[in-house]
Amino acid sequence: MSDGRVNADQEQEQNLVKPTGKRSLILLLTTYSSLFVGSIASSLLAKYYFVHGGSSRWVSTWVQSAGFPLLLTLIYFPRYVFKTTTRRPFTRFTRRHLIFSVLIGFFLGVNNFLFSWGTSYLPVSTSSLLLSTQLVFTLILSVLIVKQKVTFSNLNCVILLTLSSVLLALGSSSDKPAGLTKSKYYIGFASTIGAGLLFALYLPVTEKLYRSVYCYAMVMELQLMMELSATVFATFGMAFDGGFKEMVNEANHVFTKGPTVYWTVAIFVNVVTWQLCFAATSGMVYLTSGITGGICMTALLAMNVIGGVVVYSDEFGGVKIVSTVLCIWGFSSYIYGMYTKSKKAELMEKEKGEYSGVKTSEDGGEMEVEMGNVKDDVAAADDRV
């Protein structure tokens, strides 16, 4: 590196205005709000597709990742439209990042297919119970992969959310579809368990990968490659199984709401909401941790129950009420733990008279502002967001 480049980078580092903790909190709240909307909307639309005549598991798989071009707005708009950063897209995006994001994306595609297969066979109650088990696996794998500390805060939340989902399933036996054979039930059971295991692995693995990036935009770049890889997997499956022809047939002859609603709501809006869900999940993992992302996703399973009551007039009996209360209790206690830890970290930083970057991380299951210097001279020249 030339002396001129070094001097330029040092000058940029000195002139860099680092975002405040308040800006970090706003980004975190925006990310979780996107996860909240995306997760609930995508779940309801997935059910909407099957309720009104859709039957293709490959179509259901494809829509979960086909919206990856939407991520280009998050990657290019901050620099070229909003002028909020000087960082050029895909700066420091290495071959290692490319390889790992493509591999993770392939397994994400498999996860999407298993989820679609299970959704097509299992009742909502059973599916919720099986998917909730991913939180336990996520905690175990986070301990093994990223050395996550098990504390009262995260362990208490895992227990309460898992118990909430168990009660939800036990209280919703009437949701079982009529005519479901044992073979289809076992296929759906195995597929959903497989999806939960893969998603439990996905969270800590992506957390480890995100430790090598230095800004939120770079997370979206990695997510773009993951979703592209997952879409290639789903597209090959669609082409091999005749899924694209099946989409046309479903739209024109099978879907009960007609072709217009099929293409606009069951496909396009579904694509957008799934992309919002996955992008926000990646953001949550980057800003906090894999276990926090898993907790947020599991907490939203109970919110999906409320969504089903509002949209599809599902029954909401006493067991579901208790389940929802446990879910809110567990999630709220965890959020409070994150908040108190963050405040303690800010207070300690003020006492030291120092200033740190904006990336939040999880130490012992609770969120804190990550202390330390900017990773290197190149990272110092870029905005964190």
List pLDDT tens digits, range 369-382. 333 333 344 344 34
Angle at alpha carbon of residue 246, lines to 241 and 247, rounded to 5°: 120
* Confidence check: pLDDT of 160 > 50: yes
Average pLDDT, the chain: 78
* Confidence check: pLDDT of 8 > 70: no
* Confidence check: pLDDT of 237 > 90: yes
Question: For 149-168, what is the mean pLDDT?
Answer: 77
Q: Residue 185's pLDDT is what?
A: 77
d(CA 175, CA 286): 36
List pLDDT tens digits, range 283-301. 999 988 888 888 887 777 6
Q: Residue 362's pLDDT is what?
A: 41
List pLDDT tens digits, range 272-284. 999 999 999 999 9
Surface-to-core class of residue 3, CB atoms within 10 Å of its CB (0-12 exposed, 13-18 middle, 19+ buried): exposed
* Confidence check: pLDDT of 59 > 80: yes
* Confidence check: pLDDT of 269 > 90: yes
Q: Which residue in 38, 213, 242, 198 sits closest to 105, CA to CA?
A: 198
Which percentage of the chain shows pLDDT scores above 90? 32
d(CA 340, CA 367): 9
Among 108-112, 147-151, 307-311, the range of highest mean pLDDT: 108-112
List pLDDT tens digits, range 334-347. 777 777 777 777 78
In the structure encoding, which two tokens stand for residue 144, read together?
Answer: 């093994």
pLDDT band at 254 (very low <50, low <70, confident <90, very high): very high
Surface-to-core class of residue 140, CB atoms within 10 Å of its CB (0-12 exposed, 13-18 middle, 19+ buried): middle
